[in-house]
Each structure stands twice: as structure tokens, then as C-alpha cells.
A and B are shown apart, each in its own frame.
Chain A
Amino acid sequence: MIWQWISKLASLKFTLVVLVLVGTGVIISYRSEGTTTWALALPLFLFSLNLFAAILTNPVFRRQMPLLMFHLALIAIVLLVAVGRLSYLKGRIELAEGEEFSARLAEVEKGPWHWGQLDQVSFSNEGFTIEYAPGVQRGKTVNSVRWRDEQGTEKRGVIGDMVALSVHGYNFYTSHNKGFAPIFTWHPDAGGPSVAGAVHLPAYPRHEYSQAQTWTPPGSKSNVWVMLQFDEVILDPEKASEFRVPTEHKLVVRAGEERRELGPGESIRLPDGVLEYNGLRSWMGYTIFYDFTLPWLLASGVLAVGCMAWYFWRKFSVRPWN
């Protein structure tokens, strides 16, 4: 009785149905905005059932090693993707030049069983340049970073578009998200230590005309609005240029009734403290990615293709092509 059920599950016609379901799941994933693991999880589960049943009953799998190995490698892929989805992490963080990474990510998406050590990661952004071709066409990103490797040794290096920093299993990639970051020091009146910080203005050059930001200094009640103004052309449509901090700029600061234009070193008095402007730096947005199944996923994929090629080779060499 059970055997008959298994044989039904093993049928190729069921495979066809499963494939259609997978396709549907794919389209659903594609069209919806958020993560849609579930749309695919069911069809893939059915696929695994179908394949297991086939391995148990279909005589062709008893004899043809390459065909079987190919399908087993596919199962390996499905399993690995499942494990990957359970333990992955994707996130974003923006770091200003000189800023140290802290595990508070701007945006994070992770699997339920992610048990990584993000808080053990120690790395800082040491500044970057990005080349631009004429017509504001983005070119190479060159970002100096400093980090501590797994043994705790401090290292410095250069990462960029195709080169990521990999530490404790997490990969840090530079992105096209970058902009300017005025640095402030807040001296509260109430005593207590002065706090330095960076304010990240909206991405440049995407939001070229709205380089403004509102925030509240820590422990203060005042809302501060800053806007960056500068005249020079940084990214030139006519010739090759480089993303860099403008040499001459003004920072318009508004808090409550006060409005001042600050240069580096100047300060503005707020009701509960003094806000000192220290200068303009850049910030870089990093994407963070963690998935330890990658090497095995690649291995399974390569193995699958290899077995497929082996299978077809054996099949096709029996009779000539002509």
C-alpha cells in the first residue's frame, strides 16, 4: 500500500507538476516585495519528495550513476539553500570616514537560526574615492579599511567594487550609496562628556539637490536641521572626475529660532548646549552578507553540472552524431 503511494509520488508526471509549481513560486517571489521563502519552500519540498520516491522505486536510478548523482546534487542544493535561508544575514550600514563598525545595522534581514558573531567584527572605514567617467558614469571605488582578523591581528587593506572584506564569515561590500557627512561635537550644558558624531546627509549625487538632514543631538531637546551648500562641481558631466569632499562649502544650521552658516571650527549655541562643527567628511554605505553555505552550494552546483555532462556524454557516445 505504502509502496504504491511512493510509486505515485515517484512518477514523472508528478515531476512535471512540481516543476510548474516551482515556476509559479518563482514568479510569486519575483513579484512580491519582501522575502518570500515560503512560495518556493513548498514546491521544493514536493520536489524533494518526488525525487526521493523516484530514487527508491525507479529502476533507472539504480543503474545510472551520473543521472542519480546529478539529482542528488540538486537535493544537496535544495538542502543547502534551506540551511542558508535559516542562517543567513543581510544588512546595511553606513559608516563615515574614520568611523568604527558597531553591530547596529541600519537595515537587517536574517534567518531565524543566524548565530553569527557580528558584534565581534571590528572594522573601520578609512576613507574612499570613487572615479567617475565623463557624463557622471560611476567607475572604480577604492576604499581603505582597517580591521581585525580572526586571530585579532590588525590589518589594513583596500576594498572596492569586486573586492569585499571578509571577516568572521561576514562579507562587507562597498555600495553605490555614499555621501557627505558633517562631523559635529556636542557640548551639553548640563555637564557630562562631549560627544562627537557624524550626520549622514542623503546620498550624493542621487539626492544632489536635497543635501539636508534633521536630527537631535544626544540628550538634547532641540531639533537641528543642517544643509550643505557648495558651488564647486564635484562630478563633472564634461570630463572625468572623482567623488570627494568639496574643498569649499558652507553648512547652514537651523535650530529653533537660530540660523547660522557655519564653517569648520565654528559653533552654534543651542538652548541646552553648544554644537561645534568639525568639518566635512564622506560616508560609505556597506552591504553585509553572511551565508556559510556558499562554498558547498558552489560545490554542489559544479558537481551537478559535471554529472549532467557525464550522463549526456555517456548517452551520446553510444551512437554517432552523423
Chain B
Amino acid sequence: MTAGYELQALWAALVLYVIAGSVAIFGVVLRRKPERAVLALLFLGLALHTASIAMRWERIGHGPYITMFEILSSNIWSLLLVYTLAYWRIPAIRPTAAAVMPIMFVMMGWMLMSNPYDGHAPSTYHTIWLFIHIGFAKVFMGTVLVAVGISAIILLRQSRYHGGRFTRLPDDKRLDELSFRFMAIGLIFESLMLIAGAIWAQDAWGRYWNWDPLETWSFLTWLFLIFSLHLRVAYKTTPRTSALLVMAVFILAFLTFFGVPFISESPHKGAV
């Protein structure tokens, strides 16, 4: 029965997200600023989503980090949480919702196609380091998402399609600076994530680093982020280039977190 409520809450949350995203997109297209409405819808959606995750957690005894369905759900939740907080506190980035929400739509669609079965948590998951590691990872992804939204605006502006819609936003340099700040915060959290992951790995598997696929790809993401920051300083890149770099980081991170665990056979998934 509770599985029913849990899914209903999730559906409701998704609907609210979709409405919020649609309103944001229409706002940009029609040159309006429905920012309050979007914020309210996002908060409401998050509240319902939180309830759904909580109910599921209570029911199956472990958090949303085992199956693909759960991981997508919790990542949508955390990405939107970070994004909504930024949306709320930094009005300059609000128009980016029109770019960010479509990405979330893709994830939501994927989630709905996944099997919501109840997974089993391996015994190495019963530790506080799981929460610390995952927590840092989620903040990292969230901040990168905000930067992606900003970068999308920068790129859209320079394309043929903008039609002067983004003129009321701060100029490119300012946007670029803002995007850089979010990437910097992302870097901090990604570094913390790597450290916490190593601590967890040492306790769980007896070694802190083994170049398994997930470790390797997350390190490459980190390295690429460092590379793009140094590139920015060395060549004084234009906002457009920086925006492209941000996109690249996001794609890399996305592939790392969502691709690798499910295509590899390695023990990073927990063994029998």
C-alpha cells in the first residue's frame, strides 16, 4: 500500500517539475518573468519528492542508492535541490531554468523507464562514509548543473536563436564569472568526494584506490575540471569557450555517474 503512496508522491513531484520547467521555458520564449511561480512550483515539487524518497527509504530499509531507478530519482532530487537554492538566492541565474529543466526532463524520462524494484544494500554500504561521499557528489553535480545553465545562456545568446531574449541578464563576462564560481565550488566538493570515497574504499575493500572504472572516470572528470580552470587562466578564454568547457565537464561527470556503474562488471557494485 505504501508503495502506492510513494509512487503517487513521486508522480506528483514530477508533474510539478514539468510544469515548472514549462513555465520557465515559456517565460523565456514569451519574454516574461514568471520567476516566483517557477520557484514555488520547484519548492513544492521538491517537498513531494522528498516525501516519496522518505517513504521508500522507510519501507525498504536503505536509501536511494542501489538501483538505477533510485539513483536517478535521488539525483533528480539533489540536482533540483541545489539548483532551486541557487535560483532562490541568486536572482541573476533565474533565466537559466529554461536551459536546466530540459536536462532534468531527460533524466525524469529515463527514470520512468527504469524498473523500480527493491534492491539489496551490500554490507559495505552500512557506513557513514556512504552518506558523506554521496552527499559531496550530489553537491558537486548540483553546482555543475547551475554552471551548465549559465553556460547554456551564454551559448544561446551567441547563437542565432536568442532573438534578444536574454538582454536583461548580466553581460557575458559577468555570467562567465558566475559560472566560474560555481565550478570552483564544484571542484571543492568533487575533491572532498574523492577523498571520502577513498576512505570508504579503504575500509570496504582494503585499498583506497584501484583504478576501477568508477574511480578512474571520476578522477578523469576531476582532472578535466582542473584542466579547464588552468586553460581559463592560461589563455584567458572567452566566455563562449569557458561555457563549452563547462558543458564538457558536465557531460563527463554525467557519464561517469550514470554510465559507468551500469556498464561495468567491476566490484565497485558490490559482489556476491
Which residues of A are in contact with B by a Cβ distance under 8 Å? 11-13, 15-16, 19-20, 22-23, 26-27, 29-30, 90, 131, 133, 135-141, 160-164, 171, 173, 175-176, 205-206, 287-289, 291, 294, 297-298, 301-302, 304-305, 308-309, 312, 316, 321-322
Asked whether A321 lies within 8 Å of B234 as measured between CB atoms, the reply is: no
Specify which of B206, B233, B272 is in contact with A12 (CB 8 Å cutoff).
B233
Tell me the smallest distance from the CB of A111 to a CB of chain B, in Å: 14
Within B98-130, which residues are at the interface with A (CB < 8 Å)? 120, 122-124, 126-127
Number of A-B pairs, beta carbon distance below 8 Å? 112
Specify which of B191, B203, B207, B227 is in contact with A16 (CB 8 Å cutoff).
B227
A-B contact pairs, 7 of them (CB 8 A): A12-B234, A23-B220, A138-B122, A173-B205, A302-B195, A305-B188, A321-B181
Of the candidates A13, A26, A140, A171, the one having the most CB atoms from chain B within 10 angstroms of its own CB is: A26
The yes or no answer to B219 lying at the interface (CB within 8 A) is yes
Within B196-211, which residues are at the interface with A (CB < 8 Å)? 198-199, 202-208, 211
The yes or no answer to B192 lying at the interface (CB within 8 A) is yes
Bound: A26/B252 CA distance, A: 15
Q: Is the interface of A mostly helix, strand, loop or mixed?
A: mixed
Which residues of B are in contact with A by a Cβ distance under 8 Å? 90-92, 120, 122-124, 126-127, 178, 181, 184-185, 187-188, 191-192, 195, 198-199, 202-208, 211, 213, 216, 219-220, 223-224, 226-227, 230-231, 233-234, 270-272
- Report chain B residues within 8 Å CB of A205: 272
Bound: A162/B272 CA distance, A: 16
Bound: A131/B123 CA distance, A: 9
Closest to B122 in A: A138
Asked whether A12 lies within 8 Å of B123 as measured between CB atoms, the reply is: no
Asked whether A135 lies within 8 Å of B120 as measured between CB atoms, the reply is: yes
Q: Is the interface of B mostly helix, strand, loop or mixed?
A: helix
Asked whether A19 lies within 8 Å of B223 as measured between CB atoms, the reply is: yes
Known: A12-B233, A137-B120, A173-B206. A321 touches B272 (CB 8 A): no
Known: A138-B272, A301-B195. A19 touches B230 (CB 8 A): yes
Tell me the smallest distance from the CB of A190 to a CB of chain B, in Å: 43
Asked whether A26 lies within 8 Å of B195 as measured between CB atoms, the reply is: no
Asked whether B181 lies within 8 Å of A30 as measured between CB atoms, the reply is: no
Tell me the smallest distance from the CB of A4 to a CB of chain B, in Å: 19
Tell me the smallest distance from the CB of A47 to a CB of chain B, in Å: 11
Known: A161-B123, A305-B195, A312-B185. A322 touches B208 (CB 8 A): no
Tell me the smallest distance from the CB of A166 to a CB of chain B, in Å: 11
Bound: A96/B124 CA distance, A: 23
Bound: A131/B126 CA distance, A: 14
